[in-house]
Chains A and B, each alone.
Chain A
Amino acid sequence: MQRSTLLLALCALIVGAALFKLKYKVVDLEQQLAQTVAMIRQEEKNIHMLQAEWSHLNDPKRLQMLAHQLDIGPVRATQVIAFLPSQEKKTEAAPQPQLASLHEAP
Chain B
Amino acid sequence: MSEHAFYVPQDHLSFSTWRTVHHPRQALEMAHSRLLVVCCGFILIFLVIAVRLVDLGLFQGKEGGEGYRRHTTGIVSRANIVDRNGEVIATSLQTSSLYANARIVLDAKEAATKLVQVLPGLTYEDILRRLQSGKGFIWLARHLTPQKQAAIMRLGIPGLSFQQDERRVYPHGELFSHVLGYTNIDNKGLSGIEQKFDDFLNSQGSAFALSLDTRVQHVLRDELLAGIEKFKAQGGAGVVMNVRTGELLAMVSLPDFDPNQVGKMDPRHEALFNRITLGVYEMGSNFKIFTTALYLDKGGDVARTFDVTPPLRVGRFRITDIHPVYGAMTVAKIFTESSNIGMAKMALQFGGTSQRNFFEKLGFFKPLSLQIPELGSPLYPKEWSEATTITASYGYGVAVSPLHLVSAIGGIINNGVMVPPTLLKVDPTKGLKGKRIVSEKTSHRMRQLLHQVVAEGTGKKANVPGYQVGGKTGTANTLAGRSYKEGSNLTSFVATFPISDPQFLVLILVDRPQGIQETYGFNAGGWNAAPIAGLVIGRIAPLLQVMPLPNSPFGDGIAQFIPARIFE
Contact = CB atoms under 8 A, between A and B. Distances in A.
Given A41-B75, A51-B88, A103-B557, A96 B172 contact: no
A51 B103 CA distance: 41
Contacts of A14: none
Given A96-B501, A102-B444, A80 B171 contact: no
Contacts of B441: 102, 105
Contacts of A61: 172, 175, 218, 222
Given A77-B548, A82-B547, A96-B500, A40 B91 contact: no
B71 interface: yes
Contact of A56 (B171, B218, B547, B549): B171
A92 interface: yes
B68 interface: yes
A2 interface: no
A82 B548 CA distance: 7
Contact of B549 (A60, A76, A91): A91
A11 interface: no
Interface in B46-94: 68, 71-73, 75-76, 80, 87-89, 91, 93-94
B548 A59 contact: no
A4 interface: no
Interface in A63-105: 64, 74-78, 80, 82-83, 85, 88, 91-92, 95-96, 98-99, 102-103, 105
B370 interface: no
Contact of B214 (A54, A60, A78): A60
B169 interface: yes
A83 B215 contact: no
Nearest to A62: B172
A98 B538 CA distance: 24
Contact of A95 (B72, B218, B500): B500
B120 interface: no
A95 B499 CA distance: 12
A41 B538 CA distance: 45
Contacts of A58: 87, 214
A37 B68 CA distance: 8
Contacts of A5: none
B542 interface: yes
B173 interface: yes
B214 A41 contact: no
A59 B172 contact: yes
B87 A41 contact: no
B140 to A, nearest CB: 24
A105 to B, nearest CB: 6
Interface in A2-46: 33, 37, 40-41, 44-45
A51 B91 CA distance: 9
A39 to B, nearest CB: 10
B300 interface: no
Interface in B136-173: 169, 171-173
Contact of B554 (A85, A92, A103): A103
B91 A55 contact: yes
A55 B554 CA distance: 43
A47 to B, nearest CB: 9
B414 to A, nearest CB: 13
Contact of B467 (A33, A77, A99): A77
Contacts of A60: 172, 175, 214-215, 218-219, 222
A48 B75 contact: yes
Contact of B173 (A59, A64, A99): A59
A44 B72 contact: yes
A76 B88 CA distance: 28
Contact of B464 (A41, A77, A96, A98): A77
Nearest to B82: A55
B373 interface: no
A88 B550 CA distance: 7
Nearest to B89: A55
Given A102-B440, A103-B557, A59 B171 contact: yes
A61 B539 CA distance: 14
Contacts of B72: 37, 40-41, 44
B363 interface: no
B542 A52 contact: no
A58 B221 CA distance: 16
A52 B466 contact: no
B218 A85 contact: no
Contacts of B255: none
Contacts of B440: 102
Contacts of A56: 171-172
B563 interface: no
B9 interface: no
Given A64-B222, A77-B467, A78-B466, A99 B541 contact: no
Contact of A83 (B75, B87, B548): B548
A58 B215 CA distance: 10
A54 B541 CA distance: 26
Contacts of A99: 444, 500-501, 553-554
A40 to B, nearest CB: 5
Contacts of B175: 59-61
A75 B466 CA distance: 12
Contact of A103 (B80, B218, B467, B555): B555
A95 B215 CA distance: 28
B474 to A, nearest CB: 26
A37 B71 contact: yes
B311 interface: no
Contacts of A78: 465-466
| The 7 residue pairs across chains A and B that have the minimum distance between CB atoms | A77-B466, A60-B218, A77-B548, A56-B171, A55-B171, A75-B542, A55-B88
Interface of A: 33, 37, 40-41, 44-45, 48-49, 51-56, 58-61, 64, 74-78, 80, 82-83, 85, 88, 91-92, 95-96, 98-99, 102-103, 105
